[in-house]
Homo-oligomer: A and B are copies of this chain.
Amino acid sequence: MGIKDININSYPGSEKIYVDGTLFPIKVGMRKINLTPTVTIVDGEKVFSDNGYVVVNDTSGVYTDPNVETDINKGLPRVREQWIADRGDVETLDGISSDYGRMRLADKSLDEIRFATRHNPKRALPGKNITQMAYARAGVVTAEMEYVAIRENLNNKQLGIDSYITPEFVRQEVAAGRAIIPANINHPEAEPMIIGKAFAVKLNTNIGNSALSSGIKEEVDKAIWSCYWGGDTLMDLSTGKNIHETREWIIRNCPVPVGTVPIYQALEKVDGNVAKLTWEIYRDTLIEQCEQGVDYFTIHAGVLREHAELIGSRLTGCVSRGGSIMTEWCVIHDQESFLYTHFDEICEILAQFDVAVSLGDGMRPGSIHDANDRAQFLELDVLGELTERAWKHNVQVIIEGPGHIPLHKVKENVDREAKACHEAPFYTLGPLTTDIAPGYDHITSAIGAAHIAWWGTAMICYVTPKEHLSLPDREDVRNGVIAYKIAAHAADLAKGLPGAQVRDDAMSKARFEFRWKDQFNLSLDPARARQYYIESRGKDDKFCTMCGPNFCAMRISQKICKELND
């Protein structure tokens, strides 16, 4: 299945619906899974009993809207453009501000791979505080806030719960720093979403070419593919050639917030020579990416010169790329990290575009052995200090977390993070709960991710089966996203999120009534469920191939209920 095959039909039994805002002229896209009726025979007559529908979060954007024609050469509709303009606090620049961006633009040899349509970047008017956090703190509910409130209330109407999540509640959570809405004013194509403990658990996927592989079209394809399966945000971790142009293509076609790690590109600009990294190069990279529309940056500003020595006592040293780069820079120059010393300046830049900062955990443990060690928790305390500094600039903050952690050490991570970082949302990679299963790390980490999300992690970063071994392909992306949709949903159920269990209950009822199509349509991966079923399907639909006709417990249960009622 390629991008051209992604449409509403690829979610069988589903239709795209839009829920209108009441405060703003917004339309919140969702997927409605329509169920078939239950059929019973009463006095020889078929009686149909309606099973209604289930509404699920839809991260696929208009790619699955049959009324919208998409073209990756043109990019997605700019849904937020008018909302931003209506606030009247941003200006459109005459052109690109970053030196690097201008250089790339001037390079005619890049015309062939360049995204065709160019929009001049927007930036806050001088003196204006335009971030979602600034609005929230000022007591203002934005269109984005109403959008995410509607989006989080998926099945509450069916449950008789009227607006569990209100726009005002969203505002309060954002104002308190307990939730963020990553929404760069230069990525108006993204549909707003929220990351916070009080909301449904979100999942991030990573894509990106490396020096070894992957072209632009493949990366765009992978981005949309990830959104199709359910990725809530997307990090572009490209480190190979043409990352500036690749990023432009991805952002213009991505309906979810996009994150990056700017130090990767900065390092490419100095040909991989860590010693040559400077604040000026990094700063130009930030501006370049802010103007392109990156919604959040991973910044490893908590890695300090004094932490370098702690790496030696570890079994796997520093496994964060950004963290190891900055540590090396500190050691080479015997100086404090420029990310730390220039952090306020960084925040000033980010605030002009409403780019959120994801404070990177450069000291995350890369093995069970190194979990919850001194290096890790010392850095966490620094991230807490940086959180407060970012909030002073109204910059939205999330905190990155591990990594490799055995189950019994998971909760300590969440508790410490909440305390050290003043309840800023936690965003963790897995964690992997054992080191011994390369090839299956989507599973070793889904175990940890479900667990840590239950305790309060707001967003989990997926791990694919290829982790530690190679770059993921499309099938790996699918497997990684589904494993993490499972982990996120298991956590939502455990958190007692209203509405979360509606889909489970609908599935269970369909299962008990042998409504196979509904079972497929309700599942996280309808295509795979259907395929497994069809491959070994018996003639009689009324039992699974597992048990055989005499042994179906559910069929016998139905008989028992009937016998007891007769």
Contacts and interface: CB of A to CB of B under 8 A. Distances in A.
B560 A324 contact: yes
Contact of A212 (B408, B451, B548, B563): B548
Given A439-B525, A560-B311, A564-B309, A367 B504 contact: yes
Contacts of A489: 434, 436-437
B369 A508 contact: yes
Contacts of A240: 548
Taken together, the copies of this chain in the complex come to 2
A324 B551 CA distance: 9
B212 A545 contact: yes
From A450, A485, A564, residue with most partner B Cβ within 10 Å? A450
A176 interface: no
A331 B529 CA distance: 35
A533 B468 CA distance: 9
Contacts of A443: 442-443, 446, 482-483, 486
Nearest to A271: B550
Contacts of A368: 493, 501, 504-505, 508
A398 to B, nearest CB: 21
Interface in A407-421: 407-408
Interface string A378-411: 0000000000000000000000000010111000
Given A210-B545, A443-B486, A451-B407, A436 B504 contact: yes
A474 to B, nearest CB: 13
Contact of A508 (B316, B437, B520): B316
A319 B553 contact: yes
A63 to B, nearest CB: 22
A529 B438 contact: yes
Chain A interface category by residue count: 35 or more
A522 B368 CA distance: 15
Interface string A520-553: 1011110011011101111000001111111111
Contact of A535 (B315, B470, B509, B546): B470
Given A328-B559, A553-B323, A408 B438 contact: no
A519 interface: yes
B470 A511 contact: no
Nearest to A565: B312
A564 B490 contact: no
Nearest to A261: B551
B532 A439 contact: yes
A308 interface: yes
A560 B317 contact: yes
Nearest to A325: B556
A165 interface: no
A152 B157 CA distance: 54
A267 B495 CA distance: 42
Interface string A36-75: 0000000000000000000000000000000000000000
Nearest to A320: B553
A206 to B, nearest CB: 9
Interface string A468-497: 111100000000001101110111011110
B563 A332 contact: yes
B440 A553 contact: no
B533 A469 contact: yes
A507 interface: yes
B509 A315 contact: yes
A213 interface: yes
B321 A553 contact: yes
Contact of A556 (B316, B328, B451): B328
A264 B321 contact: no
A437 B407 contact: no
Contacts of A512: 315-317, 366-367
A434 B489 CA distance: 7
8 contacts: A210-B545, A267-B551, A317-B554, A318-B554, A407-B490, A438-B529, A443-B482, A444-B486
Interface of A: 210-213, 239-240, 264, 267-268, 272, 274, 308-309, 311-312, 315-321, 323-325, 327-328, 331-332, 366-370, 404, 406-408, 433-440, 442-444, 446-448, 450-451, 454, 465-471, 482-483, 485-487, 489-491, 493-496, 501, 503-505, 507-509, 511-512, 519-520, 522-525, 528-529, 531-533, 535-538, 544-554, 556-561, 563-565
